[in-house]
Amino acid sequence: MSTVLTLAALTLREASRRRVLLALGAMTAVLLTLSAWGFSRLADEAVTTGEARLTASIVLNLVMFGYSLIAALGTAFLAGPTLAGETESGLALSVLARPIRRAQFLAGKWLGLVAFGSGFVALAGLAQCAVVYATVGYWPPDPLTGVALLAAQTTVLLTLAVLLSTVISPMASGVVAVGLFCTTWVAGVVGGLGTAVGNEAVARVGSVSRMLLPTDGLWRGAMHAFQDPTSIVEISGGAEAEAFPFLSVAPLTLGYLAWAVVWVAMVWGVAAMSFGRKDL
């Protein structure tokens, strides 16, 4: 276990020393400032309390999507260089010649990336909730669950990026992971539109994509935790809410959460097997 923790700490130190943390911190500060200004303007425009809460919910989810995108892109593009990049450059040779297993090496890198991505979304997400509360007086119903699901979404994507980086080049692994993430999100929006207009075939696109890559499903669960419960009723009694990409009609089921855990375990297992068989 100490080997895994040593390598996880090394991955975090790399993110820090390569100024990834600094860049993310600066970007988050800018986003928080802009959103604080935007929310205060929205508060001025709202006519009723219900309108204000609905607007706050939608815009909060939109900003949170921005954070989840930053975390997803960041970890996906970090996973490639830290794993595939190190094996390509020869940096991993002297480390893996030590008395450690390949799976420990992979677990250390993965854990470091999970801590990095989760830490970022937790801090940025809670800071954003505080900004919204300070500007429009809205506090999400379950911010901790929301932040935890955003962290889970980041974990899913970086696990995929780790798997890809064991088989393809560092750059390609980041591009493919982010491409799949965006495709699943678009498929989720398309599926929502299908549900809203009653087209089962189109609605199934979203359901299938959420099973294949659980990022969009977790994201919808997070949105539900951030939005005002009454906001769905505001939109035609909830029937057309499915068509809104930044509102979620239902909370996450435990079954889906379990599937996400199984999905991560399976993909991690395949990554460990692939990395274990790799000639360096």
Q: Considering only residues 44, 45, 200, 279, which one is a binding residue for other proteins as defined by CB under 8 A? A: 279
Instruction: Indicate the residue among 92 and 225 with the shorter CB distance to other proteins.
Output: 92
Instruction: Indicate the residue among 77 and 226 with the shorter CB distance to other proteins.
Output: 77
Asked if 2 is part of the footprint of other proteins (rule: CB under 8 A), the reply reads yes
Q: Concatenate the DSSP letters of all residues of the chain into one string.
A: -HHHHHHHHHHHHHHHHTTHHHHHHHHHHHHHHHHHHHHHHHHHH--SHHHHHHHHHHHHHHHHHHHHHHHHHHHHHHHHIIIIIHHHHTHHHHHHTSS--HHHHHHHHHHHHHHHHHHHHHHHHHHHHHHHHHHH----S-HHHHHHHHHHHHHHHHHHHHHHHHHS-HHHHHHHHHHHHHHHHHHHHHHHHHHHHT-HHHHHHHHHHHHHSTHHHHHHHHHHHHS-TTHHHHTGGGTTGGG-TT--SSPPPHHHHHHHHHHHHHHHHHHHHHHHT---
Asked if 23 is part of the footprint of other proteins (rule: CB under 8 A), the reply reads no
CB 89 to other proteins: min, Å: 5
Instruction: Give, as ranges, the residues between 96 and 135 that touch other proteins (CB under 8 A).
Output: 96-101
Instruction: Indicate the residue among 102 and 210 with the shorter CB distance to other proteins.
Output: 102
Instruction: Indicate the residue among 2 and 48 with the shorter CB distance to other proteins.
Output: 2
Site string for other proteins, 217-256 (x = CB under 8 A): ----------------------------------------
**By the criterion CB under 8 A, which residues form the site for other proteins?**
2-3, 6, 10, 13-14, 17-18, 89-91, 93-101, 277, 279-280
